[in-house]
Amino acid sequence: MTAVAWRRLGPAALVCLAAPAFFVLGWTWVGWVLIAIGVGTAALVERRPPESGGAVFAGHRPTWRIGERRAPSLARDLVLIAAGMLIVHAISLEAQLDDAAMLRFTLALGGAVLVPYLVSRFVFRDRAISFPWRTRRRWARWQWAWLVAVLVLGWLILPYYFISSGVYRNWPVVDSPELIGRLFVGVGAVGIWDELFFICTVFALLRRHFPDMTANLLQAIVFVSFLWELGYRAWGPVLTVPFALLQGWIFLRTHSLAYVVTVHLLFDAVVFAVLVHAHNPGLLPVFLI
């Protein structure tokens, strides 16, 4: 990375580290402090004159040469990321299946995607956040092979993880057709939201300022922290960290939201089946444990 990118990495890392403060440690005030320092530092970094070329400063206000494209603002993009995290953090992420809980999740998770998108599009007047559903290209063989691999790996690993660690108890008991149906809808909806927020919002905003690998690592911090509070605890990060990084890498290769959502939904289909199996032994006799 360039010297400018290194100076910008600190503020971005601070904002992303607010996620474990919020969702893993429950230190709300620490998360707020990290966001404030990160955004403030980013604003200060952007006010520094560049070493060569770019903006020409008149006092404290940058002006730009005619014909130049204005560089994206890291401070503004970090504000969008922080806004999404704060909206999610406004509710408890404890898995519940009653009407009120599902409404809370819908409003909070929906707002976490919608607010950054609307602010980016209509306030900041850019198109930093988009949702490229289709690429009009056929899926390659490796993409189809990976879909099969996701199912096989999930079938082998997820039952052992959920049952041996006991983390399946972080989800409510589903012992009726209605509750099983609600669990199916909830798991799938959160899976789709994961890609809309962590990939199409957080990852997309960070890629405007950092190399793909760096941006992917930063978004994974936020992704895995959210999954921790959602219930993927114990040694769950051993699974969720690679999954978050792979989803970012796959999106870079395919540029297809439809594909990464398909991967996630297949993974979550196995999660759903394991949770039903764990709470109702013998109901789905297809797992090894």
- What pLDDT digit, counting tens, does each position of 159-199 carry? 999 999 999 999 999 999 999 999 999 999 999 999 999 99
* pLDDT given for residue 4 in this prediction: 65
Range name among 15-24, 37-46, 61-70 with the lowest pLDDT average: 61-70
Q: Where are the beta strands (DSSP E) in the chain?
A: 56-58, 61-63
What is the spatial distance between Cα 33 and Cα 36, in angstroms, rounded to a whole number? Answer: 5
**Tell me: the pLDDT tens digits for 53-88?**
433 333 333 333 433 356 899 999 999 999 999 999
**3 state DSSP class of 57:** strand
Listed by start position, the domains of the chain span: 3-279
Give residue 199's identity as a one-letter amino acid code.
I
